[in-house]
A and B are shown apart, each in its own frame.
Chain A
């Protein structure tokens, strides 16, 4: 039977390479796979393109990647209160693609759902329309938004079984659910691993088809 459990965060990030595009789940600290943060640092990779809602704000999150200067570009919606990122942003050593949050998650959804993009009213008439194709549908103007996809997706779940079915805890599901659909390799850090059959099928939010690796730090 399929078994996607790996022994630790190091095994979960195995295969990550310089220049990879990496999605990291979370809204603030909720849904952020903190075990992955240090594991990626330990691999010594550089020039990452990171897709995440925020850009780190404490000493156990994406701030560590900016301190270590391993991020070339970040695609995010709200890089505020992000001291380490801000320092590199001011120094011009990291590129920022600022995306409205709803557009960010929908671009990821498009990437995971095999869509060529979508039409959004968000950003029409603002700087967020710059450089984007404009399409008029039934008299309303929209922007063509393109899909996002990643080499690796790292997210945080609550419970997992060995097949890779995932549940989430409260508001920690945020961007994780959609990100799970849009990575070549999807690794999930969870609070606890349970037996196959223990999760109520009605409560499984991310079905195992999307998940490649699962680990927990709470053995």
Chain B
């Protein structure tokens, strides 16, 4: 069987699915990498919660402007037609349903699309929520991007989240290093699966029940998906 997708291949797979000309927010961490794999000429416009629309790539070394950063507090650039605005307006864009897709990392996602991505409840270190919850509640589509299981092989796609929730019934699509799942009223539907993997094998790594209703697309090792 093929290996699970690399972080880069997973980012590429997500990037290839984003709607052209869509307004998209990429969460802190792995989702930020999706920007590097947008096809050239892509009309996707990236939003950053700290008040930037039409985020461009990281500037060349030595040309960073620390007044122009992303949600992860790393230097960015602005594309032509980009704009700056204050945090209130930025979160109005999120909560008000003006963004088409938010791509977020997660610890767990439930069968019904509950999202747990802000704390594992470990009291040792202070929790941080940032803008994750505002995005999860407000964007038109919430896509999760994560490894299919924990490092020690336990499912992250579960019946009910064990970790504190970010929001209930918000996730619409799950991209993992093994599969793409759609969250539907009937349950989790397998849209695409790693080449040579069987649905039964994916089910063994997934606590929530999976449905394979129509044709399951094939995920190649580089993150491309074949119909």
Chain A residues with CB under 8 Å of chain B are 27-31, 53, 55, 77-80, 82, 85-86, 89-90, 96, 98-103, 105-106, 109, 120-128, 168-178, 205
Contact = CB atoms under 8 A, between A and B. Distances in A.
Contacts of A80: 125-126, 128
6 contacts: A30-B69, A79-B126, A96-B126, A102-B134, A122-B137, A171-B50
A106 B91 contact: yes
Tell me which of B124, B131, B168 has the highest count of chain A C-beta atoms within 10 A of its own C-beta.
B131
A78 B130 contact: yes
A126 B131 contact: no
A191 B164 CA distance: 42
Contacts of B84: 168, 170-171, 173
A219 B51 CA distance: 29
Indicate the member of A80, A124, A178 with the most B CB atoms within 10 Å.
A80
Question: Max chain B CB contacts within 10 Å: which of A98, A100, A128?
Answer: A100
Contacts of B130: 77-78, 100-101
B124 A106 contact: no
Contact of B48 (A31, A102, A171): A171
Interface of B: 48-52, 65-69, 73, 78, 84-88, 90-91, 94-95, 124-134, 137-138, 164-168
Nearest to B85: A173
A28 to B, nearest CB: 4
Given A102-B94, A125-B165, A30 B66 contact: yes
Given A120-B95, A170-B84, A173-B86, A100 B133 contact: yes
Contacts of A27: 50-51, 69, 73, 87
A85 B166 CA distance: 23
Residue of B67, B87, B129 with most chain A CB atoms under a 10 A cut-off: B87
B95 to A, nearest CB: 6
Contacts of A177: 86-88
Nearest to A74: B126
Contacts of B95: 102, 120-122
A100 B165 contact: no
Contacts of B166: 126
A123 B138 CA distance: 11
B55 to A, nearest CB: 10
Nearest to B133: A100
A33 to B, nearest CB: 13
A80 to B, nearest CB: 4
Nearest to B125: A86
B67 A170 contact: yes
B69 A98 contact: no
A103 B87 CA distance: 10
Nearest to B48: A171
B87 A174 contact: yes
A28 B69 contact: yes
B127 A178 contact: no
B134 A101 contact: yes
A79 B127 CA distance: 7
Contacts of B51: 27, 171, 173-174
**Residue in B86, B125, B132, B164 whose Cβ sees the most chain A Cβ within 10 Å:** B86
Contacts of B94: 102
Contacts of B138: 102, 122
Contacts of B67: 30-31, 169-172
Contacts of A82: 126
A174 B132 CA distance: 16
Given A90-B124, A106-B91, A101 B86 contact: no
Given A102-B131, A126-B133, A85 B86 contact: no
A171 B52 contact: yes
B75 to A, nearest CB: 10
A161 to B, nearest CB: 20
Contacts of A77: 128-131
A101 B49 CA distance: 9
A178 B51 CA distance: 13
